[in-house]
Amino acid sequence: MTNHWVDIKNANLIVVMGGNAAEAHPVGFRWAIEAKTRNKAKLLVIDPRFTRTASVADFYAPIRTGTDITLLSGVIRYLLETGKYNKEYTLAYTNAALLVHPDFKFEDGLFSGYDAEKRKYDKSTWAYQLDEKGMAKRDDTLSDPRCVINLLKQHVSRYTADVVANICGTPKEAFQAICEHLAETSAPDKTTSFLYALGWTQHSIGAQNIRTMAMIQLLLGNMGMAGGGINALRGHSNIQGLTDLGLLSTSLPGYMTMPSDKEPTLDSYLAKYTSKPLADGQMNYWQNYPKFFISFMKAMWGDKATADNNWGYDWLPKWDKGYDVLQYFELMHQGKVNGYFCQGFNPVASFPNKNKIVASLSRLKFLVIMDPLVTETSTFWQNHGEQNDVDPAKIQTEVFRLPTTCFAEEDGSIVNSGRWLQWHWKGAEGPGEAMTDPQILAGIFLKLKAMYAKDGGKFPDAINSLSWAYGDPHEPKPEELAKELNGKALADLPDPKNPGQFLAKKGELLPGFALLQADGSTASGCWIFAGSWTQAGNQMARRDNSDPSGLGNTLGWAWAWPANRRILYNRASCKPDGTPWDKKRTLIKWNGEKWVGVDVPDFKADEPPGSAMAPFIMQAEGLGRLFALDKMAEGPFPEHYEPFETPLGTNPLHPKVISNPAARLFKDDKAELGQHQQFPYAATTYRLTEHFHYWTKHARLNAIMQPEQFVEIGEELAREKGIAHGDMVKVSSRRGYIKAKAVVTKRIKALKVNGQLVHHIGVPIHWGFEGLTKKGFIANTLTPFVGDANTQTPEFKSFLVNVEKA
Amino acid sequence: MQVNRRQFFKLCAGGMTGSTIATLGLLPATAMADVRSYKLLRASETRNTCPYCSVGCGILMYGLGDGAKNAKSEIFHIEGDPDHPVNRGALCPKGAGLVDFIHSPNRLKHPEVREAGSNEWKRISWDEAFARIAKHIKQDRDANFTEKNADGVTVNRWLSTGFLAASASSNEAGWLTHKFTRSLGMLAVDNQARV
């Protein structure tokens, strides 16, 4: 979230699309209801299903799964054609006026630079026109046809109300109402808050779904505003934190990138990621990359990292390609992987094409499970009849199952969707011999290190150099690890403004990332967490819930990254001259010397209003990007591509380019895609109010509340297929089938799309062959093994099935 | 006349109304009935955060055991933290069942191994588990570690074993996971955010 949960109450319009907050995030959703009751906000829900969120909405519109970009591009067209957008904000704070490379173009569904064989773009034309100093050219009169906003106008001109209705199945009147509601919040004193979740990310065009919405928020002037922003309702309690920590194949903590083999030296690596400005007078914050990286290396390797060995640069692995889970299970399926660790994660249930996952795990030599609960992954080798039809004797994988403690049995911090790091305390011992994750990792690591010391082996250098300065090496304590993440001064840090004074003395915990250095005199495991545990103590454990402004920014409650800032880009809540767009939402103001306010200013503290510095300080040009340059895989503007399994069998906009042309698709998975002739119904998976993922089926109360697997089918289709409420049905895709009870409902209606009727089947995910509920099928038996072109997040939300009475 | 509470009600049931009895001076001298004492007052209270979705609701966990030697701690009740600015004491139907998550009969209690081709779990010690896993790692890493790629660039990577990190473990566990995996040269590291 750029904003946070309580801030939703400040919105005038709340759009829930690609999510179902009332059921998946019920307590957070109370702030949307608060906005309705206290702020007279309108709630608008756009979803293939009439969800419980829709049931309390002021306005609901149906949409075919996988077509959100079409609807949102239609909204952008409406805003630009009617002029109902915040023009001053758009001109000053977005790249609307910047000029695009003369050779950039879009034709028949493809942007310039496409290589059909590699399914990749050469992105050299996805760029600004630069002047002789290398700065982006701009035309503030917006008369140059190469201005971003003019190209955008042209790009979205195809998304008329008729096209939206034809592709999305959303009635024209409903679409018109959506446009009008959103346009109202282009007024400087009105905001929209968009709430989305996995309903947007789990598509082959997931990242562009979100981007299209973010562009609307920029045009409406809602970014940086209280009650505005883009608000990802993340799916798990610390998925935000583990992402912040760089636990992704090619990531490092704090959104840095793991070096690849294209950067053989430290210098080449730093040159690539140290941001160079694209406009004069910008903060261009990623210019500090070397400080963040070298401080990370000092946290990793301690005294062993020195200037002479390039801070241990050779000890980090260098990637040749991303090893995301789809890529890795493909390799495992080919027999190229020997070992796998699953820490609190159940891939048999959570990954697409369950049968492929089980087949892949069966080819491993060893599998290590660390979990508080029995998972289907830990028992993938057991025969559970139709639900897991395997022969244990033929599976040679050695499986270790290690019991871990759960939340109640440990201290530590987790990061919520609003980027708040909240500390929690242990209340009981774990059951039996359960250990914490750090104890288990230490146990394995120390054994391994001893084996290398005794017997030698391949490249023990990094293992031997890893900093392990914990009081008890077998049990690194949460406080020790949290302080390591925050970082400390490794030498006295002189204050450049006050000679003889120091910003921090050697050994002190750092107050924030502004003190980080690129010369090895600071260490910080994750630069954006710097400030979370300072000399003043554990900031994440703070419990002052006072809210002096009434806007909900409880700065004394826990600690938010970065720098305890609650609303990102909050400089954009003021006009260029420093006055707030809306007095009631004053987050920060200029006091003549510096920026102050009820939030931590997201700007250079002493940069006066009216200067050239723009509010999006992480960008090289300081601007919100309506044109994404080369940052996206499939294009700098969003474009509608059909799901890889489309009920239409075509793309009405460009029949030759049906689905995302830059998405990666492995050969065997391509062969396992279904066609609409055999699998005519659009299916989507989702969560229920009573269950959390595949965990609560092990909790008795939840198992009682929702004991048995079901699927949802609209009344029209049920009639056509002779399926009655409560019948057992078999739902099959090209990859497998599940059997479940049918819930026949009015809440899913057939949609008229491109001259045909499209039915949706709803597949809740929560069952499996383990748990206290009745045994069920893994819903992801049905889903396709293809992901978003940028993130490789699987397309769980749009695929094809058939349904019949079982 | 001494009348305890039970006798008092018996007398009432015998035909006279309670008020008549009372006016006759037969009120019990001390009321023996008592509101049952509020159990949570004697429990240890620990603050925590719901481990399910990302709202991050504050919770209060109530446990037996006051930290005294040999007193075994056990959580028996969980409710929303009324001071928490987001949930203000509320919990959803998922969070309301948290105590059943902690005490699920499907909690794992000791290390186990399923040997290749076997159809059963076998209980092992932590020491055996760590030693056998470390041996697997070393064998695979020594056999498949790549020090230089085809162009002679130092890459120091180990691709034949991967690690899937959790979605609810704390940042501190996540950081140690980062240190563990990267120092071994792992690149097949992902977490729930991928899906």
| Burial annotation A383-409 (CB, 10 A radius, 16+ → b, else e) | ebeebbebebeebebbbbbbbbbbbbb
Q: 3-state class of B146 per DSSP?
A: strand
Q: What is the CATH number of domain B39-102?
A: 3.30.200.210
Q: Do B142 and A458 touch (CB under 8 A)?
A: yes
Is residue B16 very low, low, confident or very high in pLDDT (cuts 50, 70, 90)?
A: very low
Q: Do B54 and A237 touch (CB under 8 A)?
A: yes
pLDDT per residue over A447-489, tens digit each? 999 999 999 999 999 999 999 999 999 999 999 999 999 999 9
Give me the mean pLDDT over the B149-171 stretch: 96
Cβ-Cβ contacts under 8 Å, A408 against chain B: 46, 48, 61, 75, 98, 102
Is residue B37 very low, low, confident or very high in pLDDT (cuts 50, 70, 90)?
A: confident
- Asked if A351 and A357 touch (Cβ cutoff 8 Å), the reply is yes
Q: Do B52 and A236 touch (CB under 8 A)?
A: yes
Of B106, B166, B178, the CB nearest to A246: B178
Assigned token pair, A646: 């489309």
What is the pLDDT, as a whole number, of residue A448? 98
Q: Where does CATH 3.30.200.210 sit in chain B?
A: 39-102
Q: Which positions ≥6 away from A222 have C-beta within 8 Å?
A: A185, A191, A192, A193, A228, A229
Q: Which positions ≥6 away from A430 have C-beta within 8 Å?
A: A372, A403, A404, A405, A406, A409, A436
Q: Do B55 and A417 touch (CB under 8 A)?
A: yes
Task: Quickly name the fold that domain A325-465 has.
Answer: Rossmann fold (3.40.50)
Mean pLDDT, rounded, of chain B: 88
Of B65, B170, B176, the CB nearest to A441: B176
Say yes or no to pLDDT of B11 above 70: no
Q: Do B174 and A238 touch (CB under 8 A)?
A: yes
Assigned token pair, A615: 């509010």
Q: Do B100 and A699 touch (CB under 8 A)?
A: yes
Assigned token pair, A433: 């011999």
Interface A-B: count of C-beta contacts within 8 A = 479
Q: Do A239 and B167 touch (CB under 8 A)?
A: yes
A137 min Cα distance to partner chain B (Å)? 37
Q: Do A368 and B179 touch (CB under 8 A)?
A: no
3-state per-residue secondary structure call for A641-679: CECCCCCCCCCCCCCCCCECCCCCCCHHHHCCCCCCCCC
Of B55, B118, B133, the CB nearest to A28: B55
What is the pLDDT, as a whole number, of residue A150? 98
Q: Where does CATH 3.40.50.740 sit in chain A?
A: 325-465
Element (H, E) at A296: helix A289-301
The DSSP letter of residue A404 is B
Q: Where does CATH 2.40.40.20 sit in chain A?
A: 667-805
Q: Do B55 and A702 touch (CB under 8 A)?
A: no
Q: Do A26 and B92 touch (CB under 8 A)?
A: yes
Task: Quickly name the fold that domain A667-805 has.
Answer: Barwin-like endoglucanases (2.40.40)
What is the pLDDT, as a whole number, of residue A168? 98
Cβ-Cβ contacts under 8 Å, B132 against chain A: 400
Say yes or no to pLDDT of B20 above 80: no
Cβ-Cβ contacts under 8 Å, B79 against chain A: none
3-state per-residue secondary structure call for A522-537: EECCCHHHCCCEECCE
Cβ-Cβ contacts under 8 Å, B191 against chain A: 239, 242-243, 247-248, 345
C-alpha A109: how far from its chain's center? 26
What is the pLDDT, as a whole number, of residue B34? 67
pLDDT per residue over A180-213, tens digit each? 999 999 999 999 999 999 999 999 999 999 999 9
Cβ-Cβ contacts under 8 Å, B105 against chain A: 772
- Nearest chain A residue to B188, by CA: A323
Of A261, A392, A690, the CB nearest to B117: A392
What is the pLDDT, as a whole number, of residue A621? 98
- Asked if A179 and A15 touch (Cβ cutoff 8 Å), the reply is no
- Nearest chain A residue to B46, by CA: A427
Is residue B5 very low, low, confident or very high in pLDDT (cuts 50, 70, 90)?
A: very low
Rg (chain B; Cα; Å): 30
Determine the Cα–Cα distance for residues A722 and A169; give it in Å rounded to an integer.
25
- Nearest chain B residue to A450, by CA: B134
Say yes or no to pLDDT of B15 above 70: no
- Asked if A125 and A112 touch (Cβ cutoff 8 Å), the reply is yes
Q: Do A459 and B147 touch (CB under 8 A)?
A: yes
Q: Which positions ≥6 away from B63 have C-beta within 8 Å?
A: A427, A428, B43, B44, B45, B46, B73, B74, B75, B76
A542 min Cα distance to partner chain B (Å)? 11
Amino acid at A338: N
What is the pLDDT, as a whole number, of residue B33? 64
Kindly report whether the peptide bond that precedes residue A562 is cis, defined as omega within 30 degrees of 0: yes
Of B55, B65, B117, the CB nearest to A5: B55
Backbone angles phi, psi at A266, to 5 degrees: -60, -40
Element (H, E) at A423: strand A420-424
Cβ-Cβ contacts under 8 Å, A401 against chain B: 108, 111-114, 121
Say yes or no to pLDDT of B18 above 60: no
Which residue in A414, A463, A545, A775 has the most chain B C-beta atoms within 10 A of its own C-beta, making it the best mutation to test that interface?
Answer: A414
- Asked if A568 and A230 touch (Cβ cutoff 8 Å), the reply is no
Q: Which residues of chain A have pLDDT under 50?
A: none
Q: Do A339 and B162 touch (CB under 8 A)?
A: yes
- Asked if B58 and B47 touch (Cβ cutoff 8 Å), the reply is yes
Closest CA to A26 of B87, B88, B162, B19: B87
Cβ-Cβ contacts under 8 Å, B186 against chain A: 317
Determine the Cα–Cα distance for residues A380 and A146; give it in Å rounded to an integer.
56
Determine the Cα–Cα distance for residues B89 and B81; give it in Å rounded to an integer.
4
Give me the mean pLDDT over the B24-42 stretch: 67
Is residue B29 very low, low, confident or very high in pLDDT (cuts 50, 70, 90)?
A: low
